Structure 1
Amino acid sequence: MKYIKKIILIIAVFTVLYACSTKKDTVINRNFHALTTKFNVLFNGKEAFKAGLEGINNGYVDDYFRQLPIEPIEFEEDKIIIPTYSRSEMGAGFGDESQEEEKKAATPFEKAEEKAVKAIQRHGMNINGIERNSQIDDAYLLLGKARYYSQRFIPAIEAFNYVIANYPNANLIAETKIWRAKTNIRLDNEEFAIESMKLLLQVKDTLEADLPDEIKEQGHTALAMAYVKADSVQKVKKHLHLATKTLLNKEQGARNLFILGQIYASENKKDSAIMVFKRLENFKKAPYKFKIHANIEIAKNSTKDSSTVALIEKMQKLIKNRDNRPYLDELYFQVGFLHEKNDSIKIAIENYNNSLQAKNGSNKQKTFTYERLGNLYFKNDDYQLASAYYDSVINVASDSLNLRIRRVKRKHKNLASLIKFENVVAENDSILKIASLSKEEQELFFQKHIDKLKKEDEEAAQLKLNQIAFGSTFGGNPLQSGKQGKWYFYNNQSLGFGKTEFLKVWGNRKLEDDWRWSSKIDFNNADEDSIQVNTKDLRYDLASYLETIPTNEKVIDTLKMDRNQALYELGIIYKEQFKNPAFAINRLERVKNLNPKEELILPINWHLYQVYKEIEEESKSDFYKNVILTKYSNTVFAKIIKNPNEIITEEVAVNEVEDKYKEFYYLYKEHKYQETVKVIVDYLPTIQNSKLIPKFELLRAYAIGKYTDEKAYKFALESVAIKYANTEEGKKAREIVKQLNK
């Protein structure tokens, strides 16, 4: 019996050894290596590949403000790895076994490649030029796919080509061609990819053996990728439609639908976009991130006012759903946008602020929200608040070269001088108002301010003590360890700590009325630190406030002159730059009544005349016209009013005009663009007969282009080109406009 067992064992060993040979073409050998390849080496390789794909899908962060990429992966440019070794007889670009084993796989894709190479090298049965192991074509496909995701595109194509050349009848030949096409797209060879995919999809569809739906999805997705690279939007839409007929791949199918909706939205085909996004919303197997953003896109692309109420209710339900916390910033923003469309500005602002306060909100979303709030306040003529929001956009934005961010920067820059002058007016007005009060009124004013500060400080100190006292009840404060929930005054440790904090802030005070006053300090008992704190706190010192009030007449006159100049500048800015006649009139009328400098009186009357004429208030424009004609009848302004259509014949010295041009040009070179525009606008009416006017106008256009948008810049240049077409300046302006239109 023992001999029989030994014989069976020896036969089994020899059978296994015989089967292990890759040089013998027998049923045992073929099946042994096929099974070992499929269920051992390739299984582990495919699992590693699957893990790598999951990592990409979970780790890739989509930017929903831009058109999504069809494939959720970003490859580094100029990092195409060319193989440094090859095995010509296999044509797949891998080295010998010892070299491969020395390299340790660092990523799941490298591990998958390692397993594919192992399968080919150890289990390949290439006998007389024919591969006898039916799993080797799968190994080459896995090898190519792993190299694709490792950004080794050229070696990947070698692997795919080997399968196509040596296994033309394999059941995975169509998938291999699709992967080869995708790899060619990555190598900027999209024309070859398009041609090969057309041959695969169109020719195969005409044959009896039709392609599986899964292959069709992959093929049309690859074609859409190729046409994105070729900038053929209509073809992209066509193949995305075809790729989303069956939606067998839930991840890629949802992505394709979302991109298709985005394309329609970018073409302003709102109804088509909404239909696609609704289909995605109803796609049950779609990943949730696509479904929630589909809802947001539906609200964003809504065109019918009647549907706004229903959309707002839907958005509010999504906001209440705890699962949507990661998307609260986007949801609140969209609700705000819908309310803004309905002219419910107050509710819109409230939702925009909720978007900003949402936890884990993205910085990019914040830039849109801040910009929206800035635009709302700008539209409402609250320029200072608008400037603050534009400043927030610039601070939060990560891509300062983005066209939208650059536009916001220009708006913010335009508001900078306005804010500066408004601050000068507000500050000087406050100082002058306090300086005009009697001594008693000044003391009363500052004492109210000090009392308010003390009350705020006391409430803050009490809040801090309460947090210390009751913190352990909710957060485990160590001051109350072991005595959670016990009242503050029963806890000696908390009570002692609170007493120490009180002495630090207030010193040693008697129990009496008005104990907070500095005069109540007990200098005999108070420790040195508390005395130092209280004596140095100038925020509570009435005398220190009174000392800051200016009493010198020259200082007060300077404050008045600076305020008047700021008001005048504001009037010009509101009139010329912001086209806000109401604000311009308010500032100019006010400065007119504040006894401004003599040299400001005529320009103020001139600008008020122009503003009232523009808004067709004839009685007031006539009033200022008469002031100029009676009091300043010999000026150029009066001559322009009398003869608006005639050229002023008064000669101005050429040298004087040239000097002025140099002065304004130096302002421009110092980057004082807004000031350059203002002085040119003020100066031009005085040189109506000068041949140098086109130079001033072109310089003004250049300055406008430096701090406004392209539209305003082009308008200013076109004005020069039309008015002074035969001059060098007109021709130069026309050339720049042509360049801008390209």
Structure 2
Amino acid sequence: MILCCAVLLVTSCSRKKNKFLNRNFHALGTKYNILYNGDIALEKGRESVDNAFTDNYWELLQVERMEDLEEVVLPGQSKNQDFERAEEKAIKAIQKHGMNIQGKEYNPQIDEAYLLLGKARYFDQRFVPALEAFNYILYKYPASDKINTAKIWREKANIRLENNELAIKNLKRLLEQEELEDQDLADANAILGQAYINIKAKDSALTRLNLAAEIAKKHNEKARYSYIVGQLYNEFGKKDSANLAFDKIIDMHRKIPRPYYINAHLEKIKNFDANEGNVLEFEEYLVDLEENRENRPFLDKIYYYIGEYYRGKTSDSIAESYYNKSLRTNSQDKQLKAFDYSILGDMSFDRAEYSIAGAYYDSTMNNMVLNSKPYRIIKRKRDNLEDVINYEDIAQRNDSILDLVNMSDEDRLVLFKAFTDDLKAKAEEEAERKEIAERKLSAAAASNDLNSKSSNSKFATNKSGGETFYFYNSTTVAYGKSEFAKTWGDRTLKDNWRLSAGIGASTTSQQNIDITQGASEEEIYNPEFYIAKIPTDQKVLDSLAKERNFAYYQLGIIYKEKFKEYVLAKDKLQQLLKNNPEERLILPSKYNLYKIYEELNLNDEAEIAKNDIIANYPDSRYAEILLNPQSEFSKDENSPESLYESLYQLFTEQEYAEVISGCEENIKLFEGDIIVPKFELLKASARGRLYGFEAYKEGVNYVSLNYPNSEEGKQAQEIMTKVIPVLSKKEFVDNATAKNFNVIYKFNADEDIKEFVEKLNKAVSNISYFDLTTSVDVYDENTKFVVVHGLKSVEGASGFAEILEENKHKIVKEHFAISSPNYAIVQMHKNINEYLESQ
């Protein structure tokens, strides 16, 4: 009997005999052994992919929860071991149990093996091999009961390969020609919807996804499709239809993952119209959503959307509190934090709290994708605040110092006595806290010594021989506290307890860290120590006042011109005039105040300011503008813009000495005006052309240091970091590496060269075999060069000059040949003698 069974088993193992026993033996082994284990591995892999993927609910969801990974996988490699195992099982089923006899497969499970193979490759994101597996089923098993499933998976692979039009064509034909089962029908419509989304045909996608959501049997899929439907309706502005889709998700409640449920609620909050809905009922709904304990993991977004609701109602203070609550949840959602910070920044900006707004925008950029379009928008806002933040800091700091200078000795003593008393109180409080911590630590250590044997493990043995939980044993608890205190010290029970205790220290002590650095304990608590730090040198005080006054002037101009905050601008300029500023700031401040009064419809104040300027500064350009406003004097030849344009024209004409003197005059004339950095940079360029590299470097560095927040200052900083290192190289290059050469004729700066240039141009125009040009270049204050450009070798340049000496034009003049790169070095470093000596 045993022998018969053995013979029967051996004969049934053959894959080349089309017998009932053979077919069923291999089919059962394939289905209940190999494919069963392969399907388990596939589902395990799908679960890991699903868990690793985080949906971005700020954007339209994908139909399928799977992240597109960009890493390249070599043939034979896999990204996921579970998918690799599933693929191995599928291949084993095909190789060990396939019954391909005379071109026909007799094992009915092999088509499922190929389907498993394709799915494993698909989820492992090897879409081309997956496509091959699905196509093989369609080619070799046209009568398979899995044929429609294979077609659907083939189009999923096509969509992943961005063959959206082909997938749409094939899926539409499948839906028209075949009667699909419920799951296949739902899958086909869902991925057809994804293909339509990919090609931006979202109206067609909406129809398909609506159908998929109705047909789908799995709650997760039904919720996901419904959520995408709601998102699409929102994009089309159909909020009522969107809310119906979100209500379907909410009705499923605990049958679906919590994120779908919560985000459906949040979308409904976003869609609520306070003008049409019941506000009281809706606000109760918000409170319930906020207070539900199950929603705690999602409070970051809940607070944000509640803030959005109140911001829409213009209840800015309530909205602001919710945005801050959202941030305090320590959310891991960077996009959410970017939204919170950005909105808080905009709110601070609207209140003209520009320093605070700048800090919020900094935090916003830290949570955004670098150099993305939203990042660049926020960066532009932040850059616009750079100047105002800088000058506000200067004004506040210097005002504080000067206020201390102007205080009486008694008032200073009272102020710093209060300050040092506060320091003492805090120090005593800290000392007492440490003493309590040390006593607790000593008590725990003593208890630990007495019970060292029983405290070596987390569990202690009770009298009956069993083990008790760690926290039930006072000895082990004391030991744990002792170990914690050794590692962390004494920490109060609060959020972020791991952060250093010093994080919560007073701002005052942090601000004064530089003042107290190196001071003894006695000095730190002595008011006289701080009083002695107040500057007394008149030069220092004058410098502080001058810097403060200039900051006030710049703030007034910035608030007026850039932000149109006329009240703030008025306050700054009025305060400036009370501070006894230097003469150069008085007149422009008064004129800008006059313009601000006009904007604010303060006609009496505007008239007083106008009469003051006309009476006390009758020869100024401001008086001329006020006396004859229709003349557009601000745009005539005396305006700073026109003067700059005139000087720039002279610069292009190589009148560098005149440009330098003109810039110096206008810098003094318009000191304090926003155009001054332009004159400074133009002056630096002219000095560089006339005096060389060191003069240019000095001028650019001056602009970068003295006008760091202006456009010219930023440009100068970029020149210092990127251009100056390149220009600093003064070593001459080998002629063999150059492609263009010049012939140089040297003249004294005051020498009349007009006739020579005309003669040279006539001679050059007769040369047709070279594309030659000429120029007159200033070398320095005493020298000019007449240059012939366009020659191709140093020998050719020298030979060309000799030809000119001998032809009919007889151009005889001392000359030398030089490559274009070396000529640039000569002009930059004014080292012509070094070059000639090296030749």
Alignment of 1:19-58 (within 5 A): 19-58=12-51
TM-score w.r.t. the length of structure 1 is 0.75
Alignment of 1:581-620 (within 5 A): 581-620=566-605
Output one character per residue of 1:40-64: Cα deviation in whole Å (capped at 9) or x when no partner: 1100001111111111112211122
Q: Which residue of 1 aligns with 2:415?
A: 445
Counterpart Cα distance in 2 of 1:467 and 1:394? 41
Give the deviation of 1:447 after TM superposition: 1.3
Counterpart Cα distance in 1 of 2:131 and 2:237? 39
Residue 3 (structure 2) pairs with residue 10 (structure 1): yes
**2:83 aligns with one of 101, 109, 127:** 109
Give the deviation of 1:652 after TM superposition: 4.7
Give the deviation of 1:166 after TM superposition: 1.9
Give the deviation of 1:659 after TM superposition: 3.1
SS at match of 2:520: helix
Report the AA paired with residue 156 of structure 2: K
Identity %: 36
Give the deviation of 1:569 after TM superposition: 0.6
Give the deviation of 1:70 after TM superposition: 2.0
Q: Which residue of 2 aligns with 1:258?
A: 227
Alignment of 1:292-303 (within 5 A): 292-303=262-273
Residues 108 and 629 of structure 1: CA distance in aligned 2, closer, same or farther (over 3 Å): same
Counterpart Cα distance in 1 of 2:114 and 2:187? 19
Residue 51 (structure 2) pairs with residue 66 (structure 1): no
Residues 66 and 537 of structure 1: CA distance in aligned 2, closer, same or farther (over 3 Å): farther
Output one character per residue of 1:294-353: Cα deviation in whole Å (capped at 9) or x when no partner: 111211232224445434433332333333222121112222222222333333222222
Report the AA paired with residue 338 of structure 1: Y
Cα pair 1:79 1:151 within 8 Å, conserved:
no
Report the AA paired with residue 175 of structure 2: L
SS at match of 1:282: helix
Q: Which residue of 2 aligns with 1:678?
A: 674
Report the AA paired with residue 385 of structure 2: L
Counterpart Cα distance in 1 of 2:410 and 2:672? 47
Counterpart Cα distance in 1 of 2:519 and 2:371? 51
Report the AA paired with residue 612 of structure 1: Y
Cα pair 1:442 1:546 within 8 Å, conserved:
yes
Counterpart Cα distance in 1 of 2:311 and 2:78? 58
TM-score w.r.t. the length of structure 2 is 0.67
Residue 320 (structure 2) pairs with residue 349 (structure 1): yes
Q: Which residue of 2 aligns with 1:175?
A: 149
Alignment of 1:609-688 (within 5 A): 609-648=594-633, 651-652=637-638, 657-659=645-647, 678-679=674-675
Output one character per residue of 1:667-689: Cα deviation in whole Å (capped at 9) or x when no partner: 9xxxxxxx999328999xxxxxx
Relative contact order, CA 8 A, sep 6+: which one is greater? Answer: 1
Give the deviation of 1:106 after TM superposition: 5.6
**1:211 aligns with one of 180, 203, 220:** 180
SS at match of 1:343: coil
Give the deviation of 1:587 after TM superposition: 0.6
**2:192 aligns with one of 223, 233, 248:** 223
Residues 453 and 245 of structure 1: CA distance in aligned 2, closer, same or farther (over 3 Å): same
Alignment of 1:352-371 (within 5 A): 352-371=323-342
Q: Which residue of 2 aligns with 1:191?
A: 165
Q: Which residue of 1 aligns with 2:100?
A: 126
Counterpart Cα distance in 2 of 1:472 and 1:266? 65
Output one character per residue of 1:86-120: Cα deviation in whole Å (capped at 9) or x when no partner: xxxxxxxxxxxxxxxxx999611111111111111
Report the AA paired with residue 542 of structure 1: P
Output one character per residue of 1:226-280: Cα deviation in whole Å (capped at 9) or x when no partner: 2232222222222222221223132233222222222333444433332322222
SS at match of 2:252: coil
Counterpart Cα distance in 1 of 2:618 and 2:136? 94
Counterpart Cα distance in 2 of 1:139 and 1:37? 8
Counterpart Cα distance in 1 of 2:78 and 2:564? 68
Q: Which residue of 2 aligns with 1:332?
A: 303
Alignment of 1:531-610 (within 5 A): 535-536=520-521, 538-610=523-595
Alignment length (residue pairs): 606
Counterpart Cα distance in 1 of 2:534 and 2:73? 71
**2:381 aligns with one of 411, 425, 428:** 411
Output one character per residue of 1:609-661: Cα deviation in whole Å (capped at 9) or x when no partner: 11111222222222222222222233322332333333449645987643378
Q: Which residue of 1 aligns with 2:250?
A: 281
Residue 286 (structure 2) pairs with residue 320 (structure 1): no
SS at match of 1:303: coil
Report the AA paired with residue 169 of structure 2: E
Report the AA paired with residue 364 of structure 1: Q
Residues 34 and 677 of structure 1: CA distance in aligned 2, closer, same or farther (over 3 Å): farther
Counterpart Cα distance in 2 of 1:287 and 1:388? 37
Report the AA paired with residue 460 of structure 1: E
Give the deviation of 1:416 after TM superposition: 1.8
Q: Which residue of 2 aligns with 1:249?
A: 218
Counterpart Cα distance in 1 of 2:79 and 2:10? 30
Structure 1 outlier segments of 4+, above 6 Å: 482-486, 653-656, 660-664, 680-683
Q: Which residue of 2 aligns with 1:457?
A: 427
Give the deviation of 1:536 after TM superposition: 4.8
Residues 80 and 71 of structure 1: CA distance in aligned 2, closer, same or farther (over 3 Å): farther
Report the AA paired with residue 95 of structure 2: Q
Residues 373 and 652 of structure 1: CA distance in aligned 2, closer, same or farther (over 3 Å): closer
Q: Which residue of 2 aligns with 1:164?
A: 138
Residues 370 and 461 of structure 1: CA distance in aligned 2, closer, same or farther (over 3 Å): farther
Structure 1, unpaired ranges of 5+: 1-7, 85-102, 205-209, 503-531, 668-674, 684-701, 708-742
Residues 601 and 108 of structure 1: CA distance in aligned 2, closer, same or farther (over 3 Å): same
Report the AA paired with residue 19 of structure 2: T
Report the AA paired with residue 646 of structure 1: S
Counterpart Cα distance in 1 of 2:66 and 2:78? 24
Structure with larger Rg: 2
Report the AA paired with residue 674 of structure 2: K
Cα pair 2:80 2:124 within 8 Å, conserved:
no
Q: Which residue of 2 aligns with 1:720?
A: none
Structure 2, unpaired ranges of 5+: 452-470, 491-516, 652-658, 664-670, 680-709, 716-839
Q: Which residue of 2 aligns with 1:384?
A: 355
Cα pair 2:584 2:672 within 8 Å, conserved:
no
Counterpart Cα distance in 1 of 2:326 and 2:79? 44
SS at match of 1:622: helix
Report the AA paired with residue 49 of structure 2: I
Residues 16 and 236 of structure 1: CA distance in aligned 2, closer, same or farther (over 3 Å): same
Q: Which residue of 2 aligns with 1:372?
A: 343
Aligned-residue CA RMSD in angstroms?
3.5
SS at match of 2:674: helix
Output one character per residue of 1:414-453: Cα deviation in whole Å (capped at 9) or x when no partner: 2121111111111111111111122232222111110011
Q: Which residue of 2 aligns with 1:151?
A: 125
SS at match of 2:225: helix
Q: Which residue of 2 aligns with 1:3?
A: none
Counterpart Cα distance in 2 of 1:304 and 1:472? 62
Report the AA paired with residue 97 of structure 2: H
Range moving further from structure 2, 464-473 or 174-183: 464-473
Cα pair 1:105 1:111 within 8 Å, conserved:
no
